Amino acid sequence: MWMDHRAAEQAARITKTQHRVLSRVGGVMSPEMQPPKLLWLKENLKERCWSKAAHFFDLPDFLSWKATGSLTRSLCTLVCKWTYCPPEGWDPSFWTAIGLEDLLENNSAKIGSETCAPGSPLGRGLSPQAAADLGLDPGTAVGASLIDAHAGGLGVIGADVRGFHLPCEDRPISSRMAMICGTSSCHMAISERPLFVPGVWGPCLSAMRPSRPELSCLWPQIDHVVRGHAAYSQLQQQVQQRSEDAFSIALPKLIFQLSFPSASSTAQ
């Protein structure tokens, strides 16, 4: 649920700690990263969710677990969104500073004690149940996941460009930059050494390529795009007229209704 921004206040509190792990996310914790989301769960749903959960997953790792039963997490997700930093791993002082020291219990089993590079084979491949659900053979290989934007970055930066007369044809991949467009739009690059830039996510070690630092630059989220649209003020007025409690929940509903009025009336 990356677009869930309910943990904005928790993210601001984490930023105020100025802990050293924040240097790898441009110095600012985003509400779309996992530490503030986890802190929100602990503070607001402790009995219903926090105390009962056996594991907390990012979506890519959740899908890998559902497919294979393997609890091994991809470095792509842990490094980019959870503050994990290979080869040291988790920084206990960070989780303690933000009030989530209980996640360190049992060798950090709830958030990941085993990691691997993206693309590494997981477990014994597809479990019998997952294979049956997908119509595939049990044991079919499953590779450790990539975040969607990083999969795009790997495909663009690692592409074979020979024969197209491009300026980067005979240059190392560290000279390239990929522009990713989707629910998030970002510029991504791989460097030979860690680069720390205020306001820029990264360096993220082994997020796309083992042992290489990666930078994710200028990441404007879809909410910024929506707020910049000419119809934004009109939508905001309609939300307020309907007395919706949560604007972030009501806005997507309104956009859908205005875009597909017949489907909306049918759904209602």
What is the C-alpha separation between 253 and 249, in angstroms, rounded? 7
What is the C-alpha separation between 211 and 205, in angstroms, rounded? 6
The pLDDT of residue 53 is above 60? yes
What is the C-alpha separation between 128 and 88, in angstroms, rounded? 35
pTM of the complete model: 0.77
| Model confidence pLDDT, tens digit, residues 71-117 | 999 999 999 999 999 989 999 999 999 999 999 999 999 999 999 99
Most confident listed range (1-15, 28-42, 146-160, 224-238)? 28-42
Pairing of strands 214-217, 178-180: unpaired
Given the structure tokens 């690692």, which residue do they identify? 158
**Which residue segments constitute the domains of the chain, with CATH numbers given?**
7-144 (3.30.420.40), 148-223 (no CATH), 224-259 (no CATH)
- N-to-C CA span, the chain: 24
Higher pLDDT, 184 or 261: 184
Provide, rounded to the nearest whole percent, the portion of the chain with pLDDT above 70.
81
Query: Which of 4-18, 41-55, 134-148, 238-252 has the lowest average pLDDT?
Result: 238-252
Mean pLDDT across 26-44: 95
CA-based nearest residue to 80, from 204, 209, 197: 204
Q: How far is CA 209 from the centre of its chain?
A: 17
